[in-house]
């Protein structure tokens, strides 16, 4: 399966600011795009996801947008808090094959 490009690799924001992480993919058959948050010493935690028939999805401070034509999707975190600090992975899924981006280390400074 094709990999996923994820940017930036590190992101530092001030508490209360917004954070945006972007991913691009090349496999047109991908139809499901989850985002995971991984804290040190823990497994990845599913925080939000989007399917190919939807352009945007929001859950409180977290939102994901998908542009299927351009093959990119983004994670938006508003009103960031120190506990949002973690590594975030985007992924694309096709027939059980989930491929992750390289990850973004987000640091929220109090």
Partner 1 sequence: DTEVTQTPKHLVMGMTNKKSLKCEQHMGHRAMYWYKQKAKKPPELMFVYSYEKLSINESVPSRFSPECPNSSLLNLHLHALQPEDSALYLCASSYQMTGVNTEAFFGQGTRLTVV
CA distance 93 to 68: 14
Binding mask 9-48 for partner 1 (x = CB under 8 A): -----------------------x-x-x-----xxxxx--
Work out whether 66 is an interface residue with partner 1 (CB under 8 A).
no
CB nearer to partner 1: give 4 or 77.
4
Nearer to partner 1, 1 or 78 (CB): 1
**Shortest Å, Cβ 81 to partner 1:** 22
Of 33, 17, 19, the closest CA to residue 104 belongs to 19
Residues 3 and 50: their CA atoms lie apart, in Å, by: 18
Residue 12 corresponds to which tokens in the numbers above?
């530092």
Q: Does 49 bind partner 1 (CB under 8 A)?
A: yes
Which residues lie near partner 1 (CB under 8 A)? 32, 34, 36, 42-46, 49, 89, 93, 95-103
């Amino acid at each position: 399966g094709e990999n996923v490009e994820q940017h930036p690799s590190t992101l530092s924001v001030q508490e209360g600011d917004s954070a945006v992480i972007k991913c691009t993919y090349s496999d047109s058959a991908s139809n499901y795009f989850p985002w995971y948050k991984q804290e040190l010493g823990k497994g990845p935690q599913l925080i939000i996801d989007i399917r190919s028939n939807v352009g945007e999805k929001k859950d409180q401070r977290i939102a994901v947008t998908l542009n299927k034509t351009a093959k990119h999707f983004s994670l938006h975190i508003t009103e960031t808090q120190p506990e949002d600090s973690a590594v975030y992975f985007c992924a694309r899924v096709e027939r059980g094959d989930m491929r992750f981006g390289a990850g973004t280390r987000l640091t929220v400074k109090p």
